């Protein structure tokens, strides 16, 4: 199988290293193209990139600029009954995601951890489905939810085998997981909300501007992806992730603050509000968790802060920035199927991407 990689940042670099760590003599893959935001390289299959030590030098010394129309044309020319082609998009780019229908229509398989195409405009998502059906080329996106955790593949198998999804609920954001694991332990007291967010940023758990996590959009995107994968008429037809009922944790007075530093400087003004929520939860013997819910019975998709008993898995099973997802189905009832583990990080995300690529072999 011929592979072209778009995006060689944190996840992309890890993916290429994992791909090239498969011994060349047993690998079913030939890496023939690499593209960053500013450079690209392309080789004939006989000269495929094989060395995990040299690929960074190969692309960093290239003077060729990315041209995805040309890449599409070149890759299409290799497709025949005995040769499959896949593009791996490791970016978070809307522009790259807009190419998916064209690639799939040309018979090129698409593998990605990029959430944009699957959680954005419904029209683009429907184009992807149609193009895949027409050509037979596949799109696989396991790492768009839960990094390397088998969330989407599990959901697809449940649906394909006729199980009925009653509800999916989970802690889908590694950032929100860390923040509330630290902030709300069941005790009425603890560190201030602003200090926990500040430490989370220092440890690299948040985006440079923490508001990009606290707005809940990342969770809303993941819920959109899951809801569309279920494809049930009982669920709302989400035009995009913006259609999800999302409760932001950004205090209204801090909306639109331009920098992360200024945001963190002002956040302590609202510590009392968050402290009150923690105390109220503690009085009920509960903890606070930012969760996402896809409810097939009530027909709703929502993300927000909820209270759970201190004995609940969302209170007892999580550590660090772990994700935990519960599938309540007709078969998995009354006890749900639970998937838990690291839901962020370059190594596990790249593993999920490589796992998808291996499904094409």
Residues annotated as part of the active site: 222
- In the DSSP assignment, the letter for residue 194 is H
- 130 alpha-carbon distance from chain centroid: 23
- Residue in 160, 126, 155 with CA at minimum distance from that of residue 142: 155
Strands 245-246 and 300-309: parallel
Interatomic CA distance for residues 134 and 50, integer angstroms: 33
CB 116 within 8 A of CB 92: yes
Beta-ladder partners of 85: 2
3-class DSSP state of 317: coil
Interatomic CA distance for residues 235 and 155, integer angstroms: 15
Tokens of 213: 């996590």
Tokens of 123: 């029209």
Tokens 């780019």 — which residue?
Answer: 93
Tokens of 124: 């683009």
Tokens of 210: 């923490």
């Amino acid at each position: 199988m011929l592979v072209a990689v778009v995006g060689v940042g944190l996840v992309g670099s890890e993916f290429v290293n994992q791909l090239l760590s498969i011994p060349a003599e047993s690998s079913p893959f030939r890496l023939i193209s690499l593209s960053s935001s500013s450079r690209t390289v392309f080789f004939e299959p006989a000269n495929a990139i094989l060395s995990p030590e040299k690929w960074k030098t190969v692309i960093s010394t290239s003077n060729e600029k990315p041209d995805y129309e040309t890449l599409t044309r070149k890759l299409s020319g290799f497709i025949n009954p005995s040769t499959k082609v896949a593009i791996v998009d490791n970016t978070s780019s809307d522009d790259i995601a807009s190419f998916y229908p064209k690639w799939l229509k040309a018979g090129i398989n698409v593998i990605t951890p990029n959430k944009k195409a699957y959680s954005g405009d419904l029209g683009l998502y429907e184009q992807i489905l149609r193009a895949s059906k027409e050509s037979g080329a596949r799109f696989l996106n396991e790492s768009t939810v839960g990094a390397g955790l088998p969330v989407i593949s599990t959901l697809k198998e449940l649906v394909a085998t006729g199980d009925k999804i009653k509800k999916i609920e989970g802690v889908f954001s590694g950032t929100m997981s860390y923040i509330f694991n630290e902030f709300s332990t069941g005790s009425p007291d603890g560190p201030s909300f602003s200090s926990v967010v500040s430490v989370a940023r220092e440890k690299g758990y948040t985006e440079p501007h923490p508001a990009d996590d606290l707005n809940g959009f990342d969770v809303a995107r993941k819920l959109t992806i899951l809801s569309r994968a279920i494809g049930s008429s009982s669920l709302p037809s989400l035009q995009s992730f913006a259609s999800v009922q999302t409760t932001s944790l950004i205090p209204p007075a801090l909306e639109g603050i331009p920098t992360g530093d200024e945001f963190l400087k002002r956040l302590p003004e609202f510590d009392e509000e968050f402290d009150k929520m923690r105390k109220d939860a503690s009085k009920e013997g509960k903890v606070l968790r930012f969760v996402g819910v896809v409810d097939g019975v009530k027909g709703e998709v929502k993300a927000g802060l909820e209270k759970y008993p201190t004995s609940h898995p969302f209170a007892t099973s999580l550590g660090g920035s772990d994700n935990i997802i519960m599938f309540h189905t007709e078969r998995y009832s009354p006890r749900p199927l639970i998937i838990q583990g690291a839901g962020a990080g370059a190594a596990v995300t790249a593993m999920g991407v490589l796992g998808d690529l291996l499904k094409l072999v």
